[in-house]
Structure 1
Amino acid sequence: MSLAHFSSLSSSFTFLPPPIPSPTTRVLSIRCIHTRPSTSVSAKTLSNIVNSGVIACLRAKSADVALEAARAAITGGLSVLEIVVSTPGVFEVLHQLVQDFPTTTLGVGTVLTTQDAENAKNAGAKFIMSPAIVKGILDEENDDLLYIPGVMTPTEILSSYNAGAKIVKVYPVSALGGVRYIATLKKPFPHIPLIASQGITTDLAGEYIGEGASAVVLSDAIFEKEAMTQRNFTQVYRLAQFASFKVNEAVERKRKIYPG
């Protein structure tokens, strides 16, 4: 089903993106009180990511655009979202979204330092992602925050897993061979959850899931550059809705083939 066909099915309603704080409204300051949960937060986060099958990756040039785009994507049906750390006010934006969408699995992407990891945790992130392996983060045991390191090679995948990573991000997957690369990696590593990331379109997401990816990262496929520039958050909503629909189909097909 194409986006045009999908859009025609949902044309009976109009999406009105929630309002953002006015320029005079300050985003809530970060105040988090951490208590030790009865079950591992990171294990639940991993389960949420696998059940969703898609992580929406948001980068924006301002905090207010990030807020509106994130709200549109979540309202469109996406339950896992990361905000790239280079987004202005990323931790304040994240904290606000945690208040607005407490059941959504929210995280921070392109985390390269332990300080950013700590800031993300304090802002309410449930997971953080890196384009590489940051040993200072990987070596620290943390049941409250799922760390997803970026890997390229079989050696990096196995080393990260043996060091404690519960799931890894294969990046940049399109440059490494795309769907075929994920299928090849799953042969020696069927027990290691892999996230496919970089250059993935919504139409290809199902193929990645079908060939063994536990989830895919969708960036421009949801947060289309033109839509973000024009602040067309209705388009972001539609793209998020379409992506959620397509990936859910793929996840359900996979469950029928590999139940349990």
Structure 2
Amino acid sequence: MAAGSLGMCFSPLRRSSPSSHRKFSCNSLSPRLFKTLSDIQSSGVIACLRGPSAELALGAARAAITGGITVLEVVMSTPGVFEVVLVLHELVEEHPTMSLGVGTILNAEDANHAIKVGAKFLMSPAMIKDILADVRGSEVLYIPGVMTPTEILSAHKAGAKIVKIYPVSALGGVEYIAALKKPFPHIPMVASQGVKIDLVGEYIARGASAVVLSDAIFDKEAVVRGEFDAISRQAHVAASVAEEAKKRLNPVQAY
């Protein structure tokens, strides 16, 4: 897919609201890549997991999935590359069709490790050109981190199919997303950093395709103590709030 051609891959959803949200639809995308993009768009939530150990991370991930999470990101920085690979491999074995990815990818080597064990998407806090080049034409979705309008447009022109607005809370939160969507309604955006569950619906209503939820689902103390029922409950609340927000945006089509 040629860089800069993303705008041709969308058709507006049938609704009366502004076209700040687009449903992924592009015949040139592989079925797997299309599914990953669609899963993110449909779910509205990407659960971001940091665990102090592989065992606790697996327990927390399973609890979130039980609670209704359908898109999950395991962060590369903790507990470490080896443990993250183990966790992802185990989750892919258990949920082969689920959209599972790895976050805080900072170099092509770590990206390759994640891809080998089945990551369907990769996230970075910035745009890593080597990663974007490596995944071009593949079935793996790369979501680079961007902050300014210039960075958003540059990432889009370089071939990014969706971008992560980071750190969104420090930049103005919901109002910042809304402002960015005015000149870039055709570029899907994920809101990341410091998002609380009670703001999920507002982020989606103002233009975010999805939000990244970390501590809001995976409370650090709950993870350390292995309180997986609490994590499952938070995951259920987050998934339900996002589902309702998507339905309000598009009452005609079911997600």
1:30-63 Cα deviation digits (max 9, x unpaired): xxxxxxxx93422221111001110000001100
- The structure whose RCO (Cα within 8 Å, separation 6+) is larger is 2
Which residue does 2:176 correspond to in 1? Answer: 181
Distance 1:63 1:259 in 2: 36
Cα distance in 2 for partners of 1:168, 1:84 equals 17
Match for 1:137 among 131, 135, 140?
131
2:71 aligned residue: 80
| Selected match of 2:166 from 160, 167, 171 | 171
Question: 2:40 matched to 1:46?
Answer: no
- Return the TM-score normalized by structure 2: 0.84
Report the equivalent of 1:161.
156
Percent identity, please: 61
Any conservation in 1 of the 2:52–2:224 contact (CA below 8 Å)? no
Q: 1:159 is paired with a residue of what secondary structure? A: helix
Residue number in structure 1 paired with 2:235:
240
Please state whether the residue corresponding to 2:231 is helix, strand or coil.
helix
2:56 touches 2:224 (CA, 8 Å); kept in 1? Answer: no
CA RMSD of aligned residues (A): 1.7
Listed one character per residue, the Cα deviations across residues 72-100 of structure 1 (whole Å, up to 9, x for unaligned) are 00011000000000233101110110011
Q: Which structure has the larger Rg?
A: 1
In 2: Cα distance, 1:131 partner to 1:212 partner: 20
Contact (CA 8 Å) 1:51, 1:251: kept in 2 or not?
Answer: yes
Equivalent position amino acid for 1:68 in 2: G
Whether the 8 Å contact between 2:57 and 2:223 is mirrored in structure 1 is no
Alignment of 1:120-135 (within 5 A): 120-135=114-129
Give the C-alpha shift of residue 118 in structure 1.
0.6
Q: Partners in 1 of 2:253 and 2:150 — Cα distance? A: 27
Match of 2:102 in 1: 108
Determine helix, strand or coil for the equivalent of 2:46.
Answer: strand
Q: What letter matches 1:86 in structure 2?
A: S
Counterpart in the other structure of 1:199 = 194
1:230 aligns with 225
2:85 to 78, 86, 91: 91
Taking the aligned partners of 1:166 and 1:230, their CA distance within structure 2 comes to 38
Which consecutive residues of structure 2, in runs of 5 or more, have no partner in the other structure? 1-28
Residue 236 and residue 46 in structure 1: after superposition, are their counterparts in 2 closer, same or farther (change >3 A)?
same
How many Å separate the matches in 1 of 2:49 and 2:140?
Answer: 19
Q: Give the C-alpha shift of residue 257 in structure 1.
A: 8.5
Unaligned runs of 5+ in 1: 1-37
Deviations 1:121-163 (A, max 9, x none): 1010000000001010112314210000000000000000000
Aligned length: 223
Q: Distance in 1 between matches of 2:251 and 2:158?
A: 32
1:55 and 2:49 correspond:
no
Deviates more, 1:212-221 or 1:131-140: 131-140
Establish whether residue 250 from structure 1 lines up as the match of residue 254 from structure 2. no
Report Cα offsets for 1:187-214 as digits up to 9, x if no partner. 0000000000000000001000000000
TM-score (norm: length of structure 1): 0.83
Output the CA distance in 2 between the equivalents of 1:258 and 1:72: 29
Q: Distance in 1 between matches of 2:106 and 2:138?
A: 19
Which amino acid is 1:204 matched to? L
Answer whether contact 1:41 1:143 (CA < 8 A) is retained. no
